[in-house]
Chains A and B, each alone.
Chain A
Amino acid sequence: MARNPQLNKNGELQHLLTTEGLPRDVITRILDTAEPFAGVAEREVKKVPLLRGKSVFNLFFENSTRTRTTFEIAAKRLSADVINLNIATSSTNKGETLLDTVDNLAAMQADMFVVRHASSGAPYLIAQHLEATGRDHIHVVNAGDGRHAHPTQGLLDMYTIRHYKRDFTQLSVAIVGDILHSRVARSQIHALTTLGVPDLRAIAPKTLLPHDIERLGCRVYNDMREGLRGVDVVMMLRLQNERMQGSLLPSAQEYFKFFGLTEDKLAVAKPDAIVLHPGPMNRGVEIDSAVADGRQAVILPQVTFGIAVRMAVMAMLAGGNA
């Protein structure tokens, strides 16, 4: 591809589709911009007028209450009008194609699409279609596509790590769990390597690792205690029961025994290591309650920071078009 489809000719963010290939300067700018947005939630009026009069369409072809809600809150705190479409239960069932749906909503003066889709690449397809038809004033944010990417989750994780640990170039970071099926893991890995993390580890059973994981810059561990030794950051992943095909795992109990994060296993990490989880958590499967509710968990701050990061992304996309 001639240029990064996420950036306009001035190198500014046009769509947010993936953290892969996103320049370090752009990632850093998103994180920097999110900081003042975090303060907006502390005020009497938790709103700023940047997206007043703009229409943001949440196009969820796959269900997700939490991600949809955080995008909705972010857009509303920017004063946008938000329209939620759960298309899993809508016109596609009547036979309408993805791009027909997009064209119809564009005809209703949409300014931004937030897209979640079970197929990898669906947000790209929409972005390309909009540009090919001369509607580059409409922006696309990928809210999770298949196994491919979930860039705002990856970015909010970067914001969280930076909040607690400041300098990425000094960190040991472990990503633990079902990396094979995880778009979150992919978005985290690309962002962490771009931001210069020198020691990135992938901890998982062999059956839940993608074959190209080392090429992405991760060192692979199949043992939790070896992989967690001395790390600053532990990024847990959800065991994606709904994406499991065949028998990749013996049982949830067996998985917890070897790969569930317990206080005992966490003890080999640095004493001030932080624990992240993108939610929703399967307690007693990938994470023990004592850790999930413990002093090292930053799982609820992740949710709060996620709203500020999504506000920053939307505000960076929607401005400067005129």
Chain B
Amino acid sequence: MSLPDAEKLLADLAAQMRPQVTPDTALVGLHTGGVWLAQRLHALLGLTQPAGSLDVSFYRDDYAQRGLSRDTRSSALPFDVEGRHLILVDDVLHTGRTIRAALNELFDYGRPAKVELAVLIDRGGRQLPVAPTYCATRLDLAEGTRVKLAQDGERLALRLLPEQE
């Protein structure tokens, strides 16, 4: 199947977000694809606060089954979370479990005024009551197919991956 152009989706997403953000809004990218997206959106939207990043490994609900991920990275929120308008950014929204983990982690940094969610792709298959605030496109994918953002030089591109296990 042919995947949509990630650069075009990124431009659409920025266009949806632009009327809703203020210079003080902060983006929080979820590792790994979401961090790249947050950096690009940060430039496109002209935000003053640096973009943050979250690795939600310490908050995942499958830790008891799978253990800690091998390449857990540090989370970094280089701004005060208290009272701030935050937008979580991720490449693909699927079950909603990553977003649940991200919300829990976020609130350990403080009490934001508002948290929204921006995703490039909503592929359905939700297992939790989570909905995106901003979404560039919906994509129907067969269970067992995984789609992921990749960096291709300066450009972002979508790739299909074989499902793990």
Contacts and interface: CB of A to CB of B under 8 A. Distances in A.
Say whether A associates with B: yes
B57 A44 contact: no
A132 B74 CA distance: 38
A316 B70 CA distance: 10
A229 B67 CA distance: 44
B113 to A, nearest CB: 15
A49 B58 contact: yes
A32 B70 CA distance: 9
Nearest to B63: A319
Contacts of A48: 58-59, 105, 108
Interface size class of B (residues with CB under 8 A): 20 to 34
Contacts of A29: 70
Given A321-B64, A322-B65, A36 B104 contact: no
A165 interface: no
Interface in B35-62: 55, 57-59
Among B57, B58, B74, the one with the most A-chain Cβ atoms within 10 Å of its Cβ is B58
Among B67, B74, B76, B81, the one with the most A-chain Cβ atoms within 10 Å of its Cβ is B67
B72 A49 contact: no
Given A35-B74, A44-B108, A316 B67 contact: yes
A43 B65 contact: no
Interface string B98-142: 000000110111100000000000000000000000000000000
A47 B108 contact: yes
B32 interface: no
Contact of A45 (B57, B71, B109): B109
A40 B70 contact: no
B56 to A, nearest CB: 10
Interface in B59-96: 59, 63-68, 70-76, 81
B164 to A, nearest CB: 15
A36 B57 contact: yes
A12 B67 contact: yes
A50 B55 CA distance: 14
B40 to A, nearest CB: 24
A36 B74 CA distance: 4
A322 B55 CA distance: 23
Interface string A20-48: 00000000010011011011100111011
Contact of A322 (B64, B75, B81): B64
B72 A33 contact: yes
A122 to B, nearest CB: 27
B117 to A, nearest CB: 21
Contacts of B104: 49
B64 A319 contact: yes
A316 B72 CA distance: 12
B67 A40 contact: no
B115 to A, nearest CB: 16
Nearest to B60: A50
Nearest to B57: A36
B69 to A, nearest CB: 9
Contacts of B63: 50, 319-320
A48 B109 CA distance: 11
Nearest to B72: A36
Nearest to A45: B108
A319 B65 CA distance: 7
B1 to A, nearest CB: 34
Contact of B58 (A36, A44, A316, A322): A36
Contacts of A40: 58
Nearest to B55: A36
A29 B108 CA distance: 26
B74 A320 contact: no
B68 A50 contact: yes
A316 B57 CA distance: 12
Contacts of B72: 32-33, 36
Nearest to B66: A320
Given A50-B63, A320-B65, A320-B67, A39 B76 contact: yes
Top 6 A-B pairs, shortest CB-CB distance: A320-B67, A319-B67, A45-B108, A48-B58, A36-B74, A39-B74
6 contacts: A33-B68, A35-B74, A39-B74, A44-B81, A50-B63, A319-B63
Interface of B: 55, 57-59, 63-68, 70-76, 81, 104-105, 107-110
Given A39-B75, A40-B58, A320-B67, 15 more contacts: A29-B70, A32-B72, A33-B72, A35-B73, A36-B73, A36-B74, A45-B109, A49-B104, A315-B58, A319-B63, A319-B64, A319-B68, A320-B63, A321-B64, A322-B65
